[in-house]
Structure 1
Amino acid sequence: MPAKSMHRDRQGSLSPGGETAAGFSVEILTGRDAFFALKPEWDGLFARAGLPHQLFQRHAFLRHWCDHYLAADDRLCLVVGREAGRLVMLWPLERRRRLGLELVRLMGAPVAQFGDVLIEASPKREHWLERGWEALRRRGIDLAELRLIRADAAFAHCSRLMTIAPVVSQEAPFADLGLRVAPDGPSLAYPARDRSNYRRRLRRLAERGEIAFAHQEPGPAAAMLAEQAVAMKRASLAQHGVVAPAVLNPRFGRFFAALAADRSEDTGLRLSVVTCDDRPVGIDLSFDCKGRSFGHVIASDPAFEREGLGRVLIHHAFTSARERGNSIFDLLAPADPYKREHADGAVPVRDFTVPLSWRGQLACDVALPHLRPTLKAIAKRLPAGWVRRLAN
């Protein structure tokens, strides 16, 4: 995709987009050129202030997202805050028009599993966030759609969200790897029956062939495994009659293949593999960041479902993550029952719609409360083939 030109809208005398005070300034940059130009500062801010769950706001992750998911009209909208010229705040957004409203949402959908802004810890943080909202309002934005905001996110310090009821509330379970992993598989944190079932599953798998556990470094082989993992996931969903538009979209597989192939910079993606007679039958795609691992795609060959391969793969993913130096394995939202079996806690995760104009407020008060249930009801009645075509 050709790069778009960079547009700079600085708060202060240069534009009506905001204000500059006490050495702090906010500007809105647009286009891929601006995105790429920010990379050194972006990486520096993440190294200084990035939280583990903000791996989905890393420049490397979002660069691949741009390659596969950014719309052709390239409406990137980057809210940049500087203090004395130093980057201290960054909102990675994309701008869209829907139902006559101008809205922004966080970059990364639908592959980013948590949304947030990058911002340095400071007593001024709330002031900086409010200046960001004001910049968007002056830029003509009606609504901000914020998905998958964790209770421990930087946005959790934003007073605006504290006054807004979440659109969706769920939880992201996590496992303490120090408690869950033992040298021979599940630890004593699991009931004796679960540990016995794990050994039984290994014996049943061994009847199908020679079972081995491995991991794969980034490169062409990893890209092929990532594509296989997504194919396995789709086959498993189809077998159970589950429609997941994000996974069914061909871009999903291409995105993960590109991440897995990338040796140029650390995207954080790690692959753990279970093989049967040297053939991959279970693949885990997880992201490591600052001592935590996030299990994004855990996929097993449906032909091995009766042997319980999926449960064996989860324990292999835990073991691999701990060997890489992680202390926590985040199972992501939603808190499905099988995730609860491994959980030592859970973090609340919520979606918000923030009005920034009278039109946005009207939509929040009148239109959206009725529109969302209607769209969900329609989606449940659509044939799976139609949902796949819409996802594409």
Structure 2
Amino acid sequence: MNQADCQFEIVSDEDGFRALQHEWDDLWSSAHGQYGQSFSVCWLAWQHVAKPRGRHLCCIVHREKGQLVMVWPLVTYRRLLWTYLCPLSPEAGDYTRVLVTNSPATPALIAGAWQTALKRCGADFIKLQYVDEGSELHAVASRERHVMIAARTVAAFAKLREETEWDTFCKTLGTMSGKKPGALERRLSKEGELAVRLTEPGNASENAALVDWILARKRAWGDRVGKRGEWLSSSHYRDFLVNLLCPANGRAMGRLFVVTLDGEPVAATVVGVGTTCVDGLIASFDARFARFGPGSIVVEHVIKWAFDRHLNVDFGVGAERFKAYWSRNNITGAWSAQIASSRWGVLAFRSKKTVRTVARQVARLSSLLAGQRRGTPAFAPNDPGGKRSLDLPMNPS
């Protein structure tokens, strides 16, 4: 691309952002975009999460011959003395992806968008959550010098569009915990009148009630296992989910599946629907029925629904067994990172790193002195070489 082609625009006002809708929709369709890359989802995330939380728009776009070929919706916010740049999203563990046309120019477009984010968005730090390993965005971000935090997790992806017959597909799966597809549902049906259904997008009251049911049980689960994301108690995220299922205008980008026993919900899940893929967003179940696997039952119905519509299923991050099972161990990587993108950010990063290093050294020295006062040898007698450096952790494992 020549210099004229490499001009990137930043849309920072709400009216300008909304004006992108029609050409954004066209790009999303032609690029086979995923759920979270659609204008509808990003607009809901802005209206119900980012804007109420005081975020500021910083949406990077690029056009070729007047046609939109790339859009990367970002937001900025202040924390203490620093400005952070992060993707526009519901802020609940979502992927970071750039919507871009499929062409030989794609790597250059991603690189240009990244440089625009670094140089023109006024941020001290860039926070990226769950970037697909091996993607162009991962490649450019991982080359940065000042990566403060980098963590890898795994994700599972079921390639259902390659399959043609449900029973044949199920036979390739084997069993999970000794059960084949359909077995858990037959078992639970003996406990009462069992039903599994998809709610109607127009039924706002039912969808809202079930979203509240999912979040309440998800919070209870988080308390039991010691995991509690801020978004679980966020009214903003709750409103996002409700509006995702019951949009004021246009088609619903989210669908809700519910398993009921004698008319009462025992499991439910919300999924996002893209052009070629279904994304798992949030799910929960009634812990009283855990031994019957109601969560697995609702997942199976989601997969069958996607299968019938020739859609893949992205289970999202996490190493849960059911994800590996239904994806036939098609496991990929996803990276989260925080990168210092200004001199002020680099200074803060280095200062924080220095403070942590000094604190660790002080703690080690204090531990050593306390051991000497108790009469403990300064160095472990079974240490290979007969000594242990104070620069090394006392327990390398």
Q: Does TM-score exceed 0.5, indicating one fold?
A: yes
Cα offsets for 1:303-361 (capped at 9, x unmatched): 211222222222222222212332x2221112234433433211210012233322233
Out of 98, 102, 113, which is 1:132 matched to?
Answer: 113
Q: State yes or no: 1:28 paired with 2:13.
A: no
Task: Give yes or no for contact 2:124–2:344 (8 Å, CA) kept in 1.
Answer: yes
Letter in 1 for 2:237: F
Deviation at 1:182, TM superposition (A): 4.5
1:191 to 175, 200, 208: 175
Q: Does the 8 A contact of 1:31 with 1:74 survive in 2?
A: no
Match status 1:361 vs 2:343: no
Per the alignment, residue 260 of structure 1 pairs with 245
Tell me the C-alpha RMSD between the 2 structures: 3.1
Is residue 83 of structure 1 aligned with residue 64 of structure 2?
yes
- Structure 1 residue identity aligned to 2:153: Q
Matched, 1:275 2:260: yes
Matches within 5 A, 1:1-392: 21-52=3-34, 55-72=35-52, 73-111=54-92, 113-136=94-117, 137-151=119-133, 153-156=135-138, 158-163=139-144, 167-177=150-160, 182=166, 187-191=171-175, 194-195=178-179, 199=183, 201-219=184-202, 220=204, 221-262=206-247, 264-326=249-311, 328-344=312-328, 345-367=330-352
Alignment partner of 1:42: what SS? helix
Q: What TM-score results when the alignment is normalised by the length of structure 2?
A: 0.77
Name whichever of 87-96 and 235-244 sits farther off: 235-244
Letter in 2 for 1:206: S
Task: State the AA in 1 paired with 2:266.
Answer: V
Q: For residue 139 of structure 1, report the CA deviation from its aligned partner.
A: 4.7
Shift in Å, 1:32: 1.6
Worse overlay, 185-194 or 260-269: 185-194
Q: Is the 8 A contact 1:145 1:354 kept in 2?
A: yes
Q: Across the two proteins, how many residue pairs are aligned to each other?
A: 348
* SS class of match (2:69): strand
Change (3 A) 1:71 1:290: closer
**Counterpart secondary structure, 1:65:** helix
Cα deviation per residue 1:239-298 (whole Å; 9 max; x = unaligned)? 444323222323332221111112622343122221212322221211222222111112
* Secondary structure, aligned partner of 2:326: coil
Q: Distance in 2 between matches of 1:109 and 1:295?
A: 14
Displacement of 1:152:
5.1
Separation in 1, partners of 2:236, 2:156 = 27
Q: What is the distance in 2 between the residues matched to 1:23 and 1:310?
A: 49
TM-superposition CA deviations, 1:26-53 (whole Å, max 9, x none): 222212222211111221221222443x
Cα 1:92/1:325, change in 2 over 3 Å: same
Whichever residue aligns with residue 228 of structure 2, its letter is V
Letter in 1 for 2:46: C
Q: Which amino acid aligns with 1:34?
A: G
Change (3 A) 1:43 1:84: same
Deviates more, 1:264-273 or 1:285-294: 264-273
Structure 1: which 5+ runs fail to align? 1-19, 375-392
Structure 1 residues 148 and 57, CA, compared in 2 at 3 Å: closer, same or farther? Answer: same
Deviations for 1:41-80, whole angstroms, at most 9, x for unmatched residues? 221221222443xx21211111111222124444111112
In 2, the alpha carbon distance for the partners of 1:301 and 1:83 equals 51
Distance (whole Å) between structure 2 residues aligned to residue 203 and residue 29 of structure 1: 53
Scaled by the length of structure 1, the TM-score of the pair is 0.77
Amino acid at match of 1:321: A
Does the CA-based 8 Å contact 2:76-2:85 persist in structure 1? Answer: yes
Change in CA separation of 1:238 and 1:318 when aligned onto 2, cut-off 3 Å: same
User: Structure 1 residues 94, 369: CA separation in 2 closer, same or farther (over 3 Å shift)?
Assistant: farther
Paired residue type of 1:39: Q
How far residue 83 of structure 1 moved from its aligned partner, in angstroms, is 2.1
- State the alpha-carbon separation in 2 of the partners of residues 260 and 138 from structure 1: 35
> Which range moves more in the overlay, 113-122 or 352-361?
352-361
Structure 2 residue matching 1:331: 3-state secondary structure: strand
Q: Which runs of 5+ in 2 are unaligned?
A: 360-397
Once the two structures are aligned, what percentage of the paired residues are identical?
A: 24
Q: Is the 8 A contact 1:80 1:90 kept in 2?
A: yes
The equivalent of 2:375 in structure 1 is none
